[in-house]
A and B are shown apart, each in its own frame.
Chain A
Amino acid sequence: MSVQERLVANPGADAATADAPALPREMFLGFVPVDARFELTKAPWLRRLLRNRWTTFLPTALNLFLFLVILAAGIVGTPVGNANIAIVFIWIFWWSALMLVLVPFASRLWCGMCPLPVLGEWAQRFSLVTRRWHRPLGLSLKWPKKLRSMWLVNGVFLGVAAFSGIITTRPWATVALLGSIMVLGTGLFLVYERRTFCRYLCPVGGFLGLYANFAALEIRPKSQPVCVGHKSKECILGSQAGHGCPWLEQPTNLKRNTYCGMCLECFRSCSQDNMGLYVRPFGTDLLVESHRGLDESWKAFIMLGAAAVYSATMMGPWGTLKDWANLRSLGGWALFAAGLITVLAGVLPALHGASAWLSWRLAGRTVPLKKVFTNFAYHLVPIGLLAWIGFSFAILLPNGSYVIRIISDPFGWGWNLFGTAHFAWTPVLTSWLPALQAASLLFGFVYSLDVAWKIARQTFPAPAAAARAVVPQIVLLGGITAAFLWLFVG
């Protein structure tokens, strides 16, 4: 394979690695090549569609409309959750859609059509579908260097999670949360540059970003030599045709999906038509070594732990836990919040730390412990996402039918817009639920094992050391999966 061909086959690879001797192709699950890519933008109609600003504008406007309906429903609609569009659309429909479909198959596509930042972005750009060639409105300050990580997002997520019992059951609370995110976001768009808010503050963005590393879709430059030879870097700085990357990424150097919000701006600004949309195997970005960090490791712990705590609290038989989450008493809630934060940000990291320390010892301490700890956190992503998928099945199958009646009576005011307002609550396929959940977990386990082995080889180049190091990880992943199996079907 020539250097050119290998780079096209593995977009995102450095020019440096292209000179390395040809290795046997790495495979996921033994049969899917890690560097397999299928370019969707080979179709000219898709390229035109992606370059058109209406492609992003229309879904966003629709979502903004829905969001305003939800906002109104939270303020003046019925307080009964399952009769209010705010609860039904957000925690049943949107959350399940994110976990089951959008994240695994479309990366951060939601971010490209999210209504929360758009008022701010439209104000900042002073336009809706036109590229105006002037300084953006607002102060366009740069985000402080010290805060350029996921740590802030982790903290915000933990704070929100402590109130998840209230937020997911009270329309006013859902709307208070999302409304504040929108107001704060809009304000921040007029203070900081571009999508600083989306990148460093949005709690949804934190886990979307990490789990997008598992997604089967990516945006990457088609050909590295074209970027290397093209000096004007319009994708970063902007041009008459398009803004510079609002997510503060460098499309020429895009290696992971973590901060690519699929806004498609780089398709518009690139004068060389060098941006492509690719289908790829699950989990490829988990193998990218650059930009790994403890902040993302902690995000992995937090999301995995949240799946467990939510399952236990919401899907479990333990009434006291539910009372605590429901703020029946301040003391009870404090126990719940403390327990949640301890498990997510303390216990899981400690367990992981123990296994990482064992791996480090077994492999001969040749690599810094911090690197071992950080690297090995990334194989918690497949099992984490699949645990969330299992949890989402338990929400969607029993309660998905509420969506049918809610479209006819979104506020619980006795309307019947489409004639479906009296559609009774109908649990669907609940007899499949245990099998679906077990299958999700097992798939996540297998994939996590595969990623763990590959990360072990990356961290410890000697195969013998890597093999010894991966053993504690196999045990940890087995324990985590067994615990979830018991929680879901035991």
Chain B
Amino acid sequence: MRTFMNAFSKWGRQRLFQLRAIGTGELVALAVVAMVLVVGPASVFAYGRWMDRHVAVVHARQWQYAPNVLHATAGVPFRTRLVSDDVVHGFKVIGLDAQVTQLIPGKSMELTVTAPKPGTYLYMCTTYCGLKHAMMFGKLIVTAP
């Protein structure tokens, strides 16, 4: 029992000595690195999620939308953030007054769509964007409230 206590206190003293070897400067530097490695990226992602919390992000790329199926509720404003991943595309919801003529790559455009009646609306690309431009469309499914 005694030997065990002696060994443990020796271990404890060694650890304490090492801790004392970490000066305040080192602790501050460690805090800085922790901020950079952990807090930084975490807050970036948190901010990103918060910014897009009530928004459906739609990517336009040659030659499809991602996602190409969206769900909304009739009468409720549906916020979207449109962004192109490669070339200039367009966006128009057929049957509704919702359109962006030119989606410049990298520049997000916020568009709020309010569908008065339930049903399926098509959205399509309205700016020629290459070979399969005519096949670039998606579905907006609007359900009753």
Contacts and interface: CB of A to CB of B under 8 A. Distances in A.
The answer on direct contact between A and B (beta carbons under 8 Å) is yes
Interface in B6-37: 21-23, 25-26, 29-30, 32-33, 36-37
Interface stretch (B101-109, B112-120, B133-141): B101-109
Given A80-B85, A414-B81, A414-B108, A68 B48 contact: no
Nearest to A414: B108
A124 interface: no
Contacts of B48: 411, 413, 415
A395 interface: no
Contacts of B25: 53-54, 129-130
A83 interface: yes
20 contacts: A57-B29, A58-B32, A65-B36, A68-B37, A69-B41, A78-B85, A82-B106, A83-B107, A128-B26, A128-B29, A128-B30, A128-B33, A129-B26, A132-B21, A412-B108, A414-B83, A414-B108, A415-B48, A415-B51, A422-B107
A127 B40 contact: no
B105 A80 contact: yes
A401 B124 CA distance: 32
A68 B41 contact: yes
B126 interface: no
Interface residues of A, number: 29
Contact of B51 (A54, A58, A128, A413): A413
Contacts of A90: none
Nearest to A52: B25
A130 B106 contact: no
A117 to B, nearest CB: 14
A69 B83 contact: no
B36 A61 contact: yes
B36 A413 contact: no
Interface string A86-119: 0000000000000000000000000000000000
A83 B40 contact: no
Interface in B46-70: 47-48, 51-52
Contacts of B52: 413
Contact of B40 (A68, A129, A422): A68
Contacts of A409: 108
Interface in A66-81: 68-69, 72, 78-80
A182 interface: no
Contacts of A412: 83, 106-108
A328 to B, nearest CB: 15
A130 B105 contact: no
B interface majority secondary structure: helix
A84 B44 CA distance: 15
B44 A64 contact: no
B84 A80 contact: yes
Contacts of B110: 414
B64 to A, nearest CB: 14
B40 A78 contact: no
Contacts of A78: 83, 85, 105-106
A130 B26 contact: yes
Contacts of A79: 85-86
Among B41, B45, B51, B107, chain A packs the most CB atoms within 10 A around the CB of B107
Q: Which 5 A-B pairs have the closest CB atoms?
A: A83-B106, A414-B108, A80-B106, A128-B29, A80-B105
Contact of A69 (B22, B40, B81, B107): B40
Contacts of B41: 68-69, 72
B108 A130 contact: no
Interface in B79-132: 81, 83-86, 105-108, 110
B14 to A, nearest CB: 14
A338 B2 CA distance: 75
Nearest to A80: B106
Nearest to A69: B44
Given A69-B40, A80-B85, A413-B83, 7 more contacts: A53-B25, A54-B29, A72-B45, A412-B106, A414-B51, A414-B83, A414-B110
A61 B36 CA distance: 7
B36 A68 contact: yes
A409 B51 CA distance: 12
Nearest to B35: A65
Nearest to B38: A68
A422 B106 CA distance: 11
Given A61-B32, A61-B33, A413-B52, A130 B22 contact: yes
A241 to B, nearest CB: 14
Contacts of B45: 72
A65 B83 contact: no
Contacts of A83: 105-107
Contacts of A415: 47-48, 51
